[in-house]
Structure 1
Amino acid sequence: MDSWVRFTAQSQAKERIIRAAQYTCTLVGYTLQRGGAAGNLLRTISQLEAHLSLTRKLLRLGNSVEALEAAKRAIHLSDSVLRLCLTISHLNKAMYFACDNVLWAGKTGFIPRLDQHKWSQRSFRYYLFALILNLTRDLYELRLLMECQARYRHIKSPPSANLGTALPNDQLSSLGTPATTDMLVLRLWLRQLGKVLYSNPPLLLDLLKNCFDIFIPLDQLQIYPTGPGFVGVCGLASSVLSLLTIVHPWLKLKP
């Protein structure tokens, strides 16, 4: 099983490159359609996109095993929130890959009478739930880091420090109304959020990637339709971010 996990890990970069090409075709096809391109050209782009999708499904054969192994590792995490989010997320990924494998068998003719729409919808439901859990994990880690930074600032500040003393002198005079105070608090919170994300690139990349990815199943399941153009942009952006984590492994969020 370990050798199979290593084999699937080696094919991830190829799958990400093909994924980027697939969503590039989606975006190009949408742009050409809006521009009134010829039908033959649009059909060629659509066929290329379908072939790339089928190739990706071939490269993902057996990825359920890797997802199950990841779930087995996540179940031993000491943090209960991370343990719950990551374990269930990996289990949903395993089901997503399994449905994807069935779809591949249907598209290649191994299962000729397969209801491809039904299995596609089932696959995207598992994918959506996994992404929701991944985003929950990202937000949880972000909250922990912001709380840690707030405690660090409190330790460095005098015991009497509060919102007023923490603000620059030129802003103290503007604390006149509750609305103004709320705006200053929001500004400080956004500044703190920016500092935390800037100092933690793996968390920033994972958060962005999951935010881009989540629009794909939302569109496919008709929960929040956005159209092929927006889906193409999101898929291409998340693929590029995934490739960055493969080229530079330190950018991959752990565990």
Structure 2
Amino acid sequence: MQMICHVNSSRTGHDKLVRLLQYTCKLLVNWSNDASGLHHLESTLGSARKLLRFGTFFESLEAAGKALNHRDPVIRMSTALSKLCNAVFLFTDHLIWLNSVRMVNLSRSKWSKISINAWFYSVLFSLVCDLYKLKSIVEEYSRNCRNISLPSLSFQGVLEAYDPLCGFLISSQRPLLINLIKNCFDIVLPLSTLGYVKSSSLSGLCGIISTSLSILPLLPAK
């Protein structure tokens, strides 16, 4: 309970918890005989998230600008494009929400497609960046052949005994691995909305897993 309160204390953490409930409802809708209530709750949670993140596209634009200062050209471009696409996704999402409350008049289907495609490319460029970082780290490790000292009676220690590279990545590159796995599950979500992934259950499950992984960095350190 204390950890939930800690996560919920920030806007980002609150959004993640609401997102987790939203995708849990999405998964349960496919398992329930009478899913009307769950479907309505999922829709309400989705609308609540749109309101809570209103205006946040400015933050993504700022992050895109900061990413242009990175010295590595691949990381610079992939991160900047990911943040820029996320800004487009959020901005169009704001417009769709304003249309839903009848403050602006626009073609909802047209702008929804733009929003979802921007969401997809945002996750895709982030995934490319993660894979590039992992590739660079593996190449650096192979050149240096560093020996990482890990406890012999730990999960990392067992992995290092079997595969030193695997043990090294888990012990020193855990945030990158978590983000990489999260993006692998995240990319299913826009593909599902675009109709390329047909299973709503799979979409709900991927949403739960990716959201749970995104909450991990927000938990207090032990």
User: Could you say what secondary structure the match of 2:30 adopts?
Assistant: helix
Matched-pair contact (CA < 8 Å) for 1:121–1:220? no
**TM-score, reference length from structure 1:** 0.73
Q: 1:52 to 1:146 in 2, by over 3 A?
A: same
For the 8 Å contact 1:210–1:238, the answer to whether it is kept is yes
Letter of the 2:27 partner, please give it.
L
Distance change >3 Å, CA 65–CA 16, structure 1 → 2: same
Size of the aligned set, in residue pairs, is 199
* Amino acid corresponding to residue 23 of structure 1 in structure 2: Y
1:197 corresponds to 2:169: yes
> Are 2:143 and 1:143 aligned?
no
Aligned partner letter, 2:133? E
Among candidates 57, 64, 69, match of residue 71 of structure 1: 64
Equivalent AA in structure 2 for residue 141 of structure 1: K
In the alignment, structure 1 residue 29 sits paired with structure 2 residue 1 = no
Q: How does 1:8-23 map to 2 (within 5 A)?
A: 10-23=10-23
Report the counterpart of residue 94 of structure 1 in structure 2: 87
C-alpha RMSD over aligned residues: 2.1
Contact 2:141 2:165 (C-alpha < 8 Å) held by counterparts: no
The 1:142/1:192 distance shift into structure 2, 3 A limit, reads farther
Unmatched tracts of structure 2, length 5 or more: 1-8, 148-161
Instruction: For 1:191 and 1:99, locate their aligned partners in 2 and report how far apart those are by CA, in whole Å.
Output: 46
Q: Which amino acid aligns with 1:56?
A: R
1:60 aligned onto 2:53: yes
> Is 1:245–2:217 an aligned residue pair?
yes
Q: How many Å separate the matches in 2 of 1:107 and 1:89?
A: 27
Distance, in Å, in 1 between the alignment partners of 2:110 and 2:125 is 23
Superposition deviation, residue 193 in structure 1: 5.4
Aligned to 1:210: 183
**TM-aligned CA deviation for residue 115 of structure 1:** 2.5
Structure 2 distance, partners of 1:226, 1:215, is 10
Counterparts of 1:12 and 1:196 in 2: how far apart (Å)? 30
Identity %: 33
Q: Distance in 2 between matches of 1:193 and 1:130?
A: 29
- TM-score, normalising length from structure 2? 0.83
Q: 1:208 is aligned with what amino acid?
A: I
Q: Which amino acid aligns with 1:108?
A: V
Note the residue ranges of structure 1 that are not aligned, 5 or more in a row: 1-8, 157-189, 250-255
The Cα shift of 1:243 comes to 1.2
Q: Counterparts of 1:193 and 1:134 in 2: how far apart (Å)?
A: 23
1:107 is matched with which residue?
Answer: 100
Q: How much does 1:197 deviate?
A: 3.2
